[in-house]
A and B are shown apart, each in its own frame.
Chain A
């Protein structure tokens, strides 16, 4: 940072940062440090006393088949959501770049789901696809598919992935459109003159030049699938059927708030914290100044 012209004032700057700092300390640092401490404590079954157990909670959590299951569920869920949401958005963005007529209208209609809460997105999809009154579930059965996401774990996963991806298409679309617009048209035209077909032009010029956008979106979509989709899981499947859609964040909530196993829940929180730190570090290391909103 270059030396700047500044205001000489001793007290004012502290007053200006005070509100944000106070909220940050009370609602971020204090709870986070408590989560760290709690993750190394174990309470007796009545919650009367607790003792310090170092990393025992982590060992317990990481050897718990249910937790390993939730890691696997989270991995499948995140990869599917990122893949579906990004591939669809990229296809639509490339198409939107081709047309001139009604381009603005397409964009306007495409950004709606951004404004829909993830939980509501989940409920809308559940309404369409629930076995008793869902009109599209009716259609699936008519096609001879034995559709019941409330009982079949795989179908439940398909449903939450669909809802979560649907909501994220708008966001990815806007970024891909911006990314595509930044690619010089002359490059593409030069390749066309040299005889490269449409597919070839896309994979050898457009796609590589989009890499920064794609990478940025990959991180953002992963963070989204990890954390922001809690509402979808909670509203649509409640982690079920069985534990087929229990993601890591859902399990932290479930163990802490529903089952009241504090030490385990805190240890899981800390594991998630490490994952967020890693993701943020990747984001800043490779994608300068690209920040996730939260």
Chain B
């Protein structure tokens, strides 16, 4: 019995599994749409606010549709400089944040692929000691060593530098573990064949290992780019100068509920500019991102 309806090839239409009702499917769509409204509304409304004038924003409720100040507001924020953060333009903040996010993503990938390569494909004294030293850093997030790490930065003169923003965040046990895990699945015959053909460790790494790791690297890149872009505590600590802030920190500085002079229209533009680049990365690289996230963390 039971005609296996679920096995009918997907045609893009909702098909019923055994025990499902049409009404149930409609309810499912309704709940999903409600969920998306909740998920998307704050972002949509920020966009709406970013296209209205300051006066409109200050008189709630704000209209549900975009206003006519899109060009003016975005131009003013991007190139005009924002008073509350010392006249720094949002363009500068975007450059800073991009440098930091790229630096962290690329830096983490490079140093962890190298150390994983050493740990899997070489035998040397203290190999496992090194592995554990790296592994244990999982348990030391920056939040639990705020002050002493800050002191190290001061001693090394790294406050208000890109190096200071990037370097302490690029040591990652997870990326190393992920690459190690992946390298362990590479058959020994492959290494042997490469050696018989006269390939040294560098040739093997460049011509075999790197191309094989492409998907892992892409997935990791998306996750780490978002990680770098959305950092908060660390940039808050190591930047004092307004023109070295990342966009998230600058945004915090721009908002004050006590003062009446918060330039809300510029705040909203800055919020949009802080949100859109990482969203684009996630949405455009969705395939790698979702696979990477679920595969690597599971």
Contact = CB atoms under 8 A, between A and B. Distances in A.
B145 A28 contact: yes
A289 B145 contact: no
Interface in B228-280: 229-233, 236-237, 248, 251-252, 255, 257, 264, 267-268, 271, 274-275, 278-279
A269 B145 contact: yes
Contacts of B91: none
B271 A123 contact: yes
A235 B252 contact: yes
B40 A101 contact: no
Chain A, interface SS category: helix
User: For this complex, into which size category does the number of interface residues on chain B fall?
Assistant: 35 or more
Interface stretch (A7-15, A42-50, A51-59, A152-160): A7-15
Interface string A211-239: 00000100010000001001100110000
Nearest to B231: A117
Interface residues of A, number: 112
Contacts of B49: 127
A63 interface: no
Contact of B20 (A98, A138, A171): A98
Interface in A115-174: 115-121, 123-128, 130, 132-135, 137-139, 150, 166, 169-171, 174
Nearest to B186: A4
Contacts of A19: 110-111, 114-115
A203 interface: no
A294 interface: yes
A100 B10 contact: yes
A35 B257 contact: no
Contacts of B252: 119, 123, 234-235
Given A99-B29, A235-B252, A291-B297, A116 B275 contact: yes
A4 B201 contact: no
Contacts of B178: 291
Contact of B121 (A7, A98, A126, A273): A7
Contact of B279 (A110, A116, A185, A252): A116
Contacts of B257: 130, 132, 150
B106 interface: no
A123 B251 CA distance: 9
A117 B232 contact: yes
B71 interface: no
Interface string A189-204: 1011100101001000
Given A115-B282, A293-B227, A170 B127 contact: no
A121 B147 CA distance: 26
B192 A5 contact: yes
B45 interface: yes
Nearest to B183: A4
B40 A112 contact: yes
B126 to A, nearest CB: 9
Contact of A114 (B2, B120, B282): B282
Nearest to A119: B232
Interface of A: 1, 4-7, 9-10, 12-14, 16-17, 19-21, 23-32, 34-35, 38, 88, 91-92, 95-96, 98-101, 106-121, 123-128, 130, 132-135, 137-139, 150, 166, 169-171, 174-175, 178, 185, 188-189, 191-193, 196, 198, 201, 216, 220, 227, 230-231, 234-235, 249, 252-253, 256-257, 262, 265-266, 269-270, 272-273, 276-277, 280, 289-294
